[in-house]
C-alpha cells in the first residue's frame, strides 16, 4: 500500500535520480569562475574548456528540443 506521497514507481525513482544529477551539474557549473583563473591557466585549459562547453551546449540543446518536441515550453523561473 502506498502513502499519499510515498509511493514511487521505478520510473519515478529514475526520474528523481536524473533530476538530482542535473541539479548537481548546475551546482558544479555555478562554482566555476573562469574570471578568477590566471591568464596562463585559461590559455592552457582553453582546448579542454572549449570541448566541455560545446558538449554541454549540444546536450542542453538535445534535452530542450526533446521537451519542446512534446509540446511543452521551457520557461525561465520567475524570481521572488
Q: What is the pLDDT of residues 54-76, one digit of tens each?
A: 999 999 999 999 999 999 999 98
* Torsion, CA 71, CA 29, CA 11, CA 59, rounded to 10: 50
Is this model's pTM higher than 0.75 or not? no
- What is the rounded CA–CA span in Å between residue 39 and residue 25? 25
- What is the rounded CA–CA span in Å between residue 76 and residue 66? 17
Q: Tell me how crowded residue 38 is: count the other CB atoms within 10 A of its CB.
A: 8
Lowest model confidence (mean pLDDT) among 2-6, 19-23, 49-53, 65-69: 2-6
Amino acid at each position: 500500500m502506498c502513502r499519499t506521497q510515498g509511493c514511487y514507481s521505478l520510473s519515478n525513482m529514475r526520474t528523481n535520480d536524473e533530476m538530482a544529477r542535473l541539479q548537481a551539474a548546475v551546482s558544479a557549473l555555478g562554482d566555476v569562475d573562469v574570471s578568477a583563473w590566471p591568464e596562463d591557466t585559461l590559455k592552457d585549459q582553453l582546448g579542454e574548456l572549449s570541448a566541455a562547453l560545446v558538449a554541454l551546449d549540444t546536450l542542453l540543446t538535445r534535452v530542450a528540443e526533446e521537451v519542446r518536441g512534446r509540446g511543452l515550453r521551457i520557461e525561465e523561473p520567475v524570481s521572488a
